Chains A and B, each alone.
Chain A
């Protein structure tokens, strides 16, 4: 259910030339929230195609060709499972799976828009955007730390899994035979090593003023531009098309 939030990319940063043409992170976040609010609401099904179109256009705008193709294909497959499968196999179990697929379809539609945000926004940019959106300091500071830490802890988790395998305490069989012990042997080293890494980072961050009472500035303050205006126009057009159709 968790759509990979770990994938927040750093790769687009450091290309100031592209900065003007890219969407402001605040706009990207609003696009996600708006499509989520509409598509996930009761009666939101008609807006699914519009959200998918939006997701494809955003993918094209960042040059993610694979996603631009896969998003509509996946959605079509999920839609088929939701609406055609029960006709072929009218059993309650299949029915449940189909109802779940109908939900996954909404999820995929919103996910396409969300992936654009996650793939093209660095944690630094997202934090600056949250600050620019006047979200309270307590939330922006802890969110910045969380975003910084997700990839680090994911790396730790993989290392702990490796260590478990070499000690012969990992794997499927162990998980089924001793579920609680397996959970213990995964989480305890993960937490211990993550906190160890976190100690250095917290110390360095505190000394460099993170979370202090001073209002932080940004080296490149986020700015709304033509691209953001275009995005708003596009969304308006998609909504109009859906309603009129």
Chain B
């Protein structure tokens, strides 16, 4: 919590100072009220000083008008401050999350991240505006009220503070217990968010298996846990709030009893007691609020902890201190004895590849043999465990990360489209592209024709993740996006799997016969897609087991040949029949 205050609030001093001053003024004015009441009772009514009446009334009226104006300024500016802080906090958190490596996202649920940047920041935000304001206000009230009370009658004042240590003790206990409760609640909120998020994102699967009831029950369980945690929090509050309230009420009773005795003993005037009584409320109120403030503070500090847990994560993959910026990009990629471990297990071992500018490297292999890991090392989405990956002869870990990624166009096997128009989705490849360039890219990706067939053409809005498009259409749009990027290196990670053979063939032909030669890595399962590659690499269990071009591999009669036969056996049969 402290960190939020120091780092984020101190930036906007002016929005702290103004409302704070307004608050001080307002409180100072409020201090006159009991005094005015005293004059009213002692002098105007008892002393029959009629001439003072108008003055006193004007005073009370004036104070209340000024106080309401000041109150508005105070509230509005604190709200403003808190919204500024919350914007900053959200922005920083968002930026930071973006800078984290793939590995972080592999183990993190979208729902939880949403919960952090949503509910947790909001909790902090609420505290900044409301909690801080009330806290400061009450502190001031408490301090001034005690000063005044001590001035009026220090003995009475001491008596009125007698319950204070007990109240403070309960506040401390409350803080200790409720802090943990809120942490649990915050975690549970993230779980709830994640469960709901997953269910809604996977609703098609749920329906396909008619598992609605199962899902509802699952959510109900989480919901019930959340209920229990909230009840736990309520129980803690119930155990502390009323006691604190009782103690604060007791102190006023003690004051009146003792004060009464003093008046009876004629050591105190009745008016003074009435006045003292008036200021007493200013003292009691903050004491009562203490529990409430502790509660709000604990809640937001639990959230702040969660936020800073993320903020404190150092992005593992980032620019090295003296990152090299290449002047000219050729697009040569080398793997030198690369090994890669994920969760302490080797996914790739001793990989050596040389891709000269303009060459195409095809990668084949069984599912899980390490194909995707291999290509994701090129864009430094993960760092190698051993050996190195070189881009134009430079170890990519020494390269400027942004420059590296700008020169690689990566189409992943998970196609992801944003819920925007098709045009905007393709444009991500190059923000400044002209419409013609976009059309050109789409034509190359064999997407132009089907896009034009839509009623709104390129302006067609795609549903989230490309809902409404077939798998093949999504893949072609994401390939067009990569083509538009015009990078020296293109990676197609099984990105043509949902295309029919003809389209795939056409698309690859367009790519290979482009005017600019780009280095291409292609992962595919169909012989037709890899046949023309300069080198075909066959992976098995993270090792290269076969390599060469189409012809040499066929001659070798190894794995590649086997795949070839499987895919073409009936074609040959068919040819025999027909011809």
Q: Do A and B come from one complex?
A: no
What is the interface of chain A, defined by CB distance below 8 A to chain B?
none
What is the interface of chain B, defined by CB distance below 8 A to chain A?
none
